Structure 1
Amino acid sequence: MTGPIINSPCPIRRLGSDAGHHFFGYYNKTVWDRTGRYVLANRVPMADAPLTPELEAEVGFFDLAEQDRFHRAGTTRAWNWQMGCQLQWLDGLAGRQLVYNCRADNPDAVYPGYASVVHDADSGAQRMLPLPVYSVAPDSSFALCVNYSRLYITHETIGYAWTQAPEAMPNAPADDGIHCMDIATGQSRLAISYADLRDFHPVASMDKAIHWVSHIEISPDSSRFLFLHRWTERVKDETCFLHRLITANPDGSDMRLLEDSDHPLPQLADDFDPSAVGTYDYEKSEYQISHPLWCADGRIIVWGPHAGSIHYHRYTDAPGAPVEVIGRGILTENGHMSFSPVDARWLLSDTYPDPDTHERILFLYDTRDNVRHDIGSFYADPNLKKENRCDLHPRWSRDGQSVCIDSVHEHERQMYVLDVSGIVGA
């Protein structure tokens, strides 16, 4: 039975008051440090700009005990509007240490031109790691790393600006894919190659396609990771992307295929016009597997199709295991979802902009009582397109009492905190 949707606005405030624009990026990690005092952020002088290899962003954090004063940890030219520079706390290390991606003069590296920086927020000390990170294990022992130049060619919104011609990127190389890097030493090995993925339960649509991975997420106990394997013959049209949800061990062993949305692609016709596709049409496709994330119990929540219909689904990390629909009839469109870190009763998510009002809804879903609480509505500038849009990307505080978002509803790109304690504590 479909539950009600309740308008439940929550107190909200903007973080920071300086002249810069601030954003974090993705929904898949908390911005708060373990004490709840510091909040990670990127700072830029403009709300929007085309990405180039020279465009610089400041990296740092707000100090909530000092009227949100922004502390700069460094600068980076390896970032994008959707995911920032993969800035994240290293919770498994002592003190307050964070990591972010950067560009580097390292022609002999696995990915020349890219690296990552570990910064100690207390001492200011820094050290360089030889690969750019995508996802860091909760115990901070290792990171999974990919080629952001490949992502810039295949899925520009999550890649780093690059100048090499697309035809120079092989479709499914055996010497590139997901690398596993030791955080302490910087040593790395190729865990899963694109050739491995093409040969894993292959389908005909892979033969002429270019392959990549995204949404790499490591399990809470750091023992497994999930990712989306994507492929296409037409990188400029996201509705032609094909998707699979896969899990594996950090060394690449024991790969498991949980879902495959391979489907017919009439868009491959020679006369198809990708420019006619709306900014958010891809996100609202009935075939897309999107935004997977580990739950605290080791299961996986994702928006995607299963058994002929598309929903918020919860998977067990085992092929053929029962798949649970979450919020049937009430959670009806794609969003950036995550469960409260302290109470799995509460699911946080958002919507993409309404095509007429351009409003995005931020909500909490009560899985026990089957009730959706709409806690805010935020205008999205329709002039911002795929590569430079500003999704809400909601993120929980560690105590489950607050939510942080990125937004442009006040005609600036800024970060906001909503107090949800009145709902989750009721």
Structure 2
Amino acid sequence: MRLIKLISCFTLYFLIALNSKAQLSMFPAVSVPVQITPNGKEHLFASYYGINSWSKNQHFATVLETDVQFRIPTALDTATLGLVDMRTNKFLPLTKTTAWNFQQGCMAHWLATNPDSVIIYNDMRNGKYVSVIMNVITRKELKILPYPIGGVSPDGKEAVVINFSRLRITRTDYGYDGGGQDAQPSVRFPVNDGIFLLNLKTGSIKPVVSFAQLRSQVPEIKNPNGIEYIGHVLFSKGGSKLFFLARAIPDWNTTSFTINKDGSDLKRCFPDNWGGSHFDWLDDQRLLITALYEGKKNSHILFTVGQSNFRKLGSGKLDYDGHGTFSPDGKWMVTDTYPARNRDQTITLLNMKTDSVLTLGNYREPPEFKDGWRADIHCRWSPNGDLIGFNSTHTGSRQVYVIKVK
């Protein structure tokens, strides 16, 4: 009997090993994470998750450096915007900004018009939020535009403008301090505010959608002091469409929308009770959204614009709210978790063809990093798809890490 048990155990271990080997064969080889920022100060990628942080040649990554650690930054807190040289991991300071936060940095983007040398980022000048176009090689400011940007088109010619002062009073950790825009705190659905399209060459601006246009499309705000706000906005891969979230405080109801960049074809993605949280475009029609699937449980959902069929990703293993983003070739999706009870944050890779998942690592966030100064993992892919970058505090300070992908 003991021999039979030993044989059974051996068989079980063999099957587990075989299954693990088969599972690993569905995924690229990945390295252990490498810290690319120096200790001594806090560091984070200079933009939101899913936004490319690398020059096209992948020689440099945009990173913020700050002394602020366990609080939400104010207009008096200056962060240094710089580059990490990926060949040496040396931090190279470029400039300073007071329009930043721990969630989205200063929304730095490399511009596709000059993808190895020119970036755009947000700053505050003379009491107003602006966006600055800079050549990072010469460190020369090429243009200052009188609006802050919330996203840049894939061709690098246009950007979306949202109200970061309104964000400050509704979602404090995503807005900017200092009153650089008119927040209109007493207006529930402003007619003259919403999403705007900014021409980066001419500086001209035109409305895409106003809060007033959304009023009939979103749930009723029952609190008498409640107001609607727009946070995250993202261009589709071809640049023809936008996805955005409209939310209200203090009700915290959320509606997911797509719209053409010219303001036409405004569409709600889900029924009211599905909400929406994090997202990424797979192409010009399909996008990932984490939402309450059938109004019940947070899941990673693949959604096609204009259709009512939804595909849950991960075969039940991604039924949580995470920051998912697709690899440049669309074959993989990487996502993360918020801290578990033991404070672990997990990075997971999804094979889009087989729907199988692979855990890339667990990173324990110290309890001091919480609320608006928390450090979400916020993965992002490099242009070649051979690097996954993320922020983490698992060593006790906020630093930037890279996983190599073959």
Larger radius of gyration: 2
**Is it true that 1:313 corresponds to 2:301 in the alignment?**
yes
Which of 289, 295, 298 pairs up with 2:282? 295
Query: Could you give the per-residue CA deviations for residues 361-395 of structure 1, whole angstroms, max 9, x where no partner exists?
Result: 11111233332211111011222222100000011
Q: After the TM superposition, which residues 58-73 of structure 1 pair with which residues of structure 2 at under 5 Å, given as runs? A: 58-65=80-87, 67-73=88-94
Aligned to 1:237: none
**Superposition deviation, residue 204 in structure 1:** 3.1
Bigger CA drift: 363-372 or 243-252? 363-372
Which of 236, 247, 251 pairs up with 1:230? 247
Question: Contact 1:350–1:392 (CA<8 Å) still a contact in 2?
Answer: yes
Which of 369, 377, 382 pairs up with 1:397? 382
Q: Secondary structure at the match of 1:204?
A: coil
Aligned to 1:254: 265
Q: Which amino acid aligns with 2:233?
A: I
Question: Contact 2:198–2:205 (CA<8 Å) still a contact in 1?
Answer: yes
- Cα distance in 1 for partners of 2:53, 2:201 equals 22
**Superposition deviation, residue 46 in structure 1:** 3.9
Q: After the TM superposition, which residues 98-109 of structure 1 pair with which residues of structure 2 at under 5 Å, given as runs? A: 98-105=119-126
Question: Contact 1:364–1:375 (CA<8 Å) still a contact in 2?
Answer: yes
Question: Contact 1:101–1:116 (CA<8 Å) still a contact in 2?
Answer: yes
Bigger CA drift: 92-101 or 136-145? 92-101
Q: Secondary structure at the match of 1:152?
A: helix
Aligned to 2:254: 243
**Is it true that 1:182 corresponds to 2:182 in the alignment?**
no
Q: After the TM superposition, which residues 23-422 of structure 1 pair with which residues of structure 2 at under 5 Å, given as runs? A: 23-24=44-45, 25-65=47-87, 67-93=88-114, 95-105=116-126, 113-126=128-141, 127-162=143-178, 168-199=185-216, 201-205=217-221, 208=224, 209-232=226-249, 234=250, 240-262=251-273, 288-296=275-283, 298-310=285-297, 311-318=299-306, 320-342=307-329, 344-355=330-341, 357-421=342-406
Q: Secondary structure at the match of 2:278?
A: strand
Question: Contact 2:350–2:358 (CA<8 Å) still a contact in 1?
Answer: yes
Change in Cα spacing, 1:156 to 1:37, as seen in structure 2 (3 Å) is same
**Superposition deviation, residue 351 in structure 1:** 0.8
Cα RMSD (Å) of the superposition? 2.4
The number of residues matched between the two structures is 378
Identical aligned residues as a percent = 26
Q: Secondary structure at the match of 2:213?
A: helix
Structure-1-length-normalised TM-score: 0.83
Aligned to 2:16: none
**Superposition deviation, residue 196 in structure 1:** 1.0
Q: Which amino acid aligns with 2:304?
A: T
- Cα distance in 1 for partners of 2:354, 2:116 equals 39
Query: Could you give the per-residue CA deviations for residues 29-62 of structure 1, whole angstroms, max 9, x where no partner exists?
Result: 1211100111110111343333211100011211
- Cα distance in 1 for partners of 2:230, 2:354 equals 36
- Cα distance in 2 for partners of 1:130, 1:184 equals 13
Query: Could you give the per-residue CA deviations for residues 264-303 of structure 1, whole angstroms, max 9, x where no partner exists?
Result: xxxxxxxxxxxxxxxxxxxxxxx55111111136311011
Question: Contact 1:346–1:366 (CA<8 Å) still a contact in 2?
Answer: yes
Q: Secondary structure at the match of 2:269?
A: strand
Q: Which amino acid aligns with 1:229?
A: A
**Superposition deviation, residue 186 in structure 1:** 1.2
Bigger CA drift: 132-141 or 49-58? 49-58
Aligned to 2:14: none
Structure-2-length-normalised TM-score: 0.87
**Superposition deviation, residue 306 in structure 1:** 3.8
Give the gaps of 5 or more residues in structure 2: 1-18
Give the gaps of 5 or more residues in structure 1: 107-112, 235-239, 263-286, 422-426
- Cα distance in 2 for partners of 1:207, 1:50 equals 26
Query: Could you give the per-residue CA deviations for residues 233-258 of structure 1, whole angstroms, max 9, x where no partner exists?
Result: x2xxxxx3111111112122221111
Change in Cα spacing, 1:195 to 1:297, as seen in structure 2 (3 Å) is closer
